[in-house]
């Protein structure tokens, strides 16, 4: 299967579906009734909307955590204490449903996030 960019109409349709039905319902429906391509697009839209819901500090933390950077490097770059960085990373992981740093790395790469 080849991967292609979604058209603006497809992106709009997915956004409306996520808003009306919830992300999980859209992913489930797309997985079982529509092509795998649409299911993957729905996942990307869901993840992108979660990233959009992060605060600026949380987004910066996600980008560095997904670089990957160690907590000490993140703390130095952001001018924060290690405890604050640990707290920020925990909040980002919870909001993004990430179980590990490697998942954060994949997420940042998958969505093409840049600082």
Task: Kindly report, residue by residue over 58-111, the tens digit of the pLDDT.
Answer: 999 999 999 888 999 999 999 999 999 999 999 999 999 899 999 999 889 888
Q: Are 45 and 11 in contact (CB under 8 A)?
A: yes
Which residues are within 8 A (CB) of 47 and not within 5 positions of it... i.e. 6 or more apart? 96, 107, 110, 111
Where are the chain's structural domains? 8-51, 55-111
pLDDT, tens digit (0-9, with 9 covering 90-100), for 66-79: 988 899 999 999 99
Asked if residue 22 has a cis previous peptide bond (ω within 30° of 0), the answer is no
What fold is seen in the domain 55-111?
A: Arc Repressor Mutant, subunit A (1.10.10)
């Amino acid at each position: 299967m080849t991967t292609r960019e979604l058209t603006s109409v497809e992106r709009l349709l997915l956004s409306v579906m996520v808003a009306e039905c919830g992300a999980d319902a859209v992913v489930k429906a797309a997985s079982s009734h529509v092509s795998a391509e649409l299911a993957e697009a729905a996942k990307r839209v869901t993840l992108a909307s979660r990233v959009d819901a992060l605060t600026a500090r949380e987004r910066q933390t996600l980008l560095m955590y997904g670089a990957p950077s160690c907590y000490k490097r993140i703390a130095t770059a952001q001018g924060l204490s290690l405890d604050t960085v640990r707290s920020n990373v925990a909040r980002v992981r919870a909001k993004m449903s990430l179980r590990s740093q490697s998942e954060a790395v994949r997420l940042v790469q998958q969505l093409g996030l840049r600082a």
